[in-house]
C-alpha cells in the first residue's frame, strides 16, 4: 500500500506529467542528434533542401523558438492564475482541484516543457561547422507547431472550464464515475447484514486499538489488501472513521480483535489508509457533492444573486442522488473468499447524503421560493425513479425542507406553484 499511496500522490501532483515530458524530451534530443550525426550525411543528397538547414540559420531559429515557447508558457501560467482566482471568488475553493488535476492542463504544460527543453538542448549541441546540413531544425519547427496547437487548445480549455455550466457538468460527470466505481462488483465479499452471534463471538477477546500517527483527511481505503492482511493475521477489524472524515493525530483509526492478544505495529493501519491534507474525490462521494453545494450556496448569496445557477446545481445534485439511490446499499461487512468476516466499516446512510446535499441550501436559500421549489422538484424526480426505501428517506427529508418555507406569507402565484411541487412530491413518495 505504501507504493500505491506514493503512486497516487505522484500521479496527482501538478508537476508529474511535465517531468515525464521533460525526460522524453531529453531522449528525443539524443535520438535527433544521432540522426544528424549518422543518418543525415547519408541521405542529404536525396532529401529536398527544404528539410535541411545550416548551423548558423538553425542557431538563429532556435533562439526565436525558445523565446516564443517561453512566451506561450508565461501566458498559460497567467491564464491558470486567472482561472484559479475566478474559481476561488465565484465558485468554490474546492473546485480548484478539478482544473489543476485536469489532464488537459497538465499535458499542455508537459508539451511546453518538452518543447523548451528540446529546443534549448538542441541549441547547445549545435556544432561549429557553419555549412553542416542538419535535419533537426525541421523537426524542431514541427515541435514548435505542436506547442502552438496545444497553446490554442489550452486557451479553449480554460475558457470552457471557467464557464459555470461547464464546470457543473464536469463535476457531475466525475461524481457519477465515483459513484459507479464505489458500488461496482468487487472481488471480495460485501454484506449488508451478518450473523450477530458470530460478531459477538469474534469480539469476545480483548479489543486493541490502532492510533493515527498524524492528522489528515481519510482520502481512501484499499479494502482488498486490508482483507488479505486481516486474513493473514487472523484478526477482525473495525474502522473508526468514514471516508472523507478528518482524523486527528492520536485518535483510534482501527479497532481489532485477535486470538492470543496479538499486538501489531501501530503504523500498519496507515499502510492501507490514504491520509492527506485535503479531501479528494478518489472515493469520497460526499466531497464531490459538496462542490456543487458550495457553488449553489455562493450563487444564492446576496453578493452574487444568481438563483438560476443555484437551481442548475440543485438539478445536478438531484441527478447524482438519483444515480446513487439506484445502486446504494448500506454495506458494512467485508469478508474474505472463505466468507470469514474481516472488516466492519460503517457506511454513510442515504439520508446523510440527502442532508449533506441540501441542508445548507435550506439555511441560505429558504427566503428564495424559486430555489426551494428547485429542491422539491429535484426530490420529486429522485423519488420517481427509486425504490420504496429511498422514497421513505426522501419524504422525511422533503418535510424537513418544507418546514423552512413560510407558505403563509407567499403571494398567490408563488403559493400555487409551491403547493403544486409539494403535491407532486407527495404523490411520488406515497
Look up the CATH number of the domain holding residue 292: 3.90.1170.30
pLDDT at 13: 66
Q: What is the DSSP letter of 49?
A: G
What percentage of the chain has pLDDT greater than the value 90? 28
Residue-level pLDDT at 323: 94
User: Is the pTM value of this prediction over 0.75?
Assistant: yes
Cβ density class 155-182: b for 16+ within 10 Å, e for less = eebbeebbebeebbebbbeebbebbeeb
Residue ending a domain, among 322, 349, 365, is 365
Q: Do residues 429 and 383 lie in contact, with contact meaning Cβ atoms separated by under 8 Å? A: yes
Last residue of a domain, one of 320, 336, 365: 365
CA dist 355 and 293 (Å) reads: 11
Q: Coil, strand or helix: which one is 240?
A: coil
Q: Is residue 199 part of a domain?
A: yes
Number of domain units in the chain: 2
Same domain, 169 and 218: yes
The span from the CA of 375 to the CA of 310, in Å, is 10
169 and 147 housed in the same domain: no
In a domain, 249, yes or no: yes
Query: Which of 242, 261, 264, 265 is closest to 253 using CA atoms?
Result: 242
Domain end, chosen from 317, 343, 365, is at 365
Residue 360: per-residue pLDDT: 92
Give CA–CA dist 168/188, Å, rounded. 34
pLDDT for residue 74 is more than 50: yes
**Domain membership flag for residue 372:** no
Give the pLDDT band (50/70/90) at residue 103: confident
The C-alpha cell that represents 242 in the structure block: 468514514
152 and 216, same domain (yes or no): no
Assigned domain for 423 exists: no
24 and 142 together in one domain: yes
Determine, yes or no, domain membership for 210: yes
Q: Is 374 a member of any domain? A: no
41 plus 106 within the same structural domain: yes
Domain assignment of residue 293, given as a range: 163-365
| CA distances to 195, 227, 333 from 237, in Å | 16, 9, 10
pLDDT at residue 140 tops 80: yes
Do 168 and 261 lie in a common domain? Answer: yes
Helix and strand numbers (H, E) in the chain are: 16, 9
Q: What is the mean pLDDT of residues 174-197?
A: 88
Beta strands in 292-363 (DSSP E): 333-335, 341-344
Amino acid at each position: 500500500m505504501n507504493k500505491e499511496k506514493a503512486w497516487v500522490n505522484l500521479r496527482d501532483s501538478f508537476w508529474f506529467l511535465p517531468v515525464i515530458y521533460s525526460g522524453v524530451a531529453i531522449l528525443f534530443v539524443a535520438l535527433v542528434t544521432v540522426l544528424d550525426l549518422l543518418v543525415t550525411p547519408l541521405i542529404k543528397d536525396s532529401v529536398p533542401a527544404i528539410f535541411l538547414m545550416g548551423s548558423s540559420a538553425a542557431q538563429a531559429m532556435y533562439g526565436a523558438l525558445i523565446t516564443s515557447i517561453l512566451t506561450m508558457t508565461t501566458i498559460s501560467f497567467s491564464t491558470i492564475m486567472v482561472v484559479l482566482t475566478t474559481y476561488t471568488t465565484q465558485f468554490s475553493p474546492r473546485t480548484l482541484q478539478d482544473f489543476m488535476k485536469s489532464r488537459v492542463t497538465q499535458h499542455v504544460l508537459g508539451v511546453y516543457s518538452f518543447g523548451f527543453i528540446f529546443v534549448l538542448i538542441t541549441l547547445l549541441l549545435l556544432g561549429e561547422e557553419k555549412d553542416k546540413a542538419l535535419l533537426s531544425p525541421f523537426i524542431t519547427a514541427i515541435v514548435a507547431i505542436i506547442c502552438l496547437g496545444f497553446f490554442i487548445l489550452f486557451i479553449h480549455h480554460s475558457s470552457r472550464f471557467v464557464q459555470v455550466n461547464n464546470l457543473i457538468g464536469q463535476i457531475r460527470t466525475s461524481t457519477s464515475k465515483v459513484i459507479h466505481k464505489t458500488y461496482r462488483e468487487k472481488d471480495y465479499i460485501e454484506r449488508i447484514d451478518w450473523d450477530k452471534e458470530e460478531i459477538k463471538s469474534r469480539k469476545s477477546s480483548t479489543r486493541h486499538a490502532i492510533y493515527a500517527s498524524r492528522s489528515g483527511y481519510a482520502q481512501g481505503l484499499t479494502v482488498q489488501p486490508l482483507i488479505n492482511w486481516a486474513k493473514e493475521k487472523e484478526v477482525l477489524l473495525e474502522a473508526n472513521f468514514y471516508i472523507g472524515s478528518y482524523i486527528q493525530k492520536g485518535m483510534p483509526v482501527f479497532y481489532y480483535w485477535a486470538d492470543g492478544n496479538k499486538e501489531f505495529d501501530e503504523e500498519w493501519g496507515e499502510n492501507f489508509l490514504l491520509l492527506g491534507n485535503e479531501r479528494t474525490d478518489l472515493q469520497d462521494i460526499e466531497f464531490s457533492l459538496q462542490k456543487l453545494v458550495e457553488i449553489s450556496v455562493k450563487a444564492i448569496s446576496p453578493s452574487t444573486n444568481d438563483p438560476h445557477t443555484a437551481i442548475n446545481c440543485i438539478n445536478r445534485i438531484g441527478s447524482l442522488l438519483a444515480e446513487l439511490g439506484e445502486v446504494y446499499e448500506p454495506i458494512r461487512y467485508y469478508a474474505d473468499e472463505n466468507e470469514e468476516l474481516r472488516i466492519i466499516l460503517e457506511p454513510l446512510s442515504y439520508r446523510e447524503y440527502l442532508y449533506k446535499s441540501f441542508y445548507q441550501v435550506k439555511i441560505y436559500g429558504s427566503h428564495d421560493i424559486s430555489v426551494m421549489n428547485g429542491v422539491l422538484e429535484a426530490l420529486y424526480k429522485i423519488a420517481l425513479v427509486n425504490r420504496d426505501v429511498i422514497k421513505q428517506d426522501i419524504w422525511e427529508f422533503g418535510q424537513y425542507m418544507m418546514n423552512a418555507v413560510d407558505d403563509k406569507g407567499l403571494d398567490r402565484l408563488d403559493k400555487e406553484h409551491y403547493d403544486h411541487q409539494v403535491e407532486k412530491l407527495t404523490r411520488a413518495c406515497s
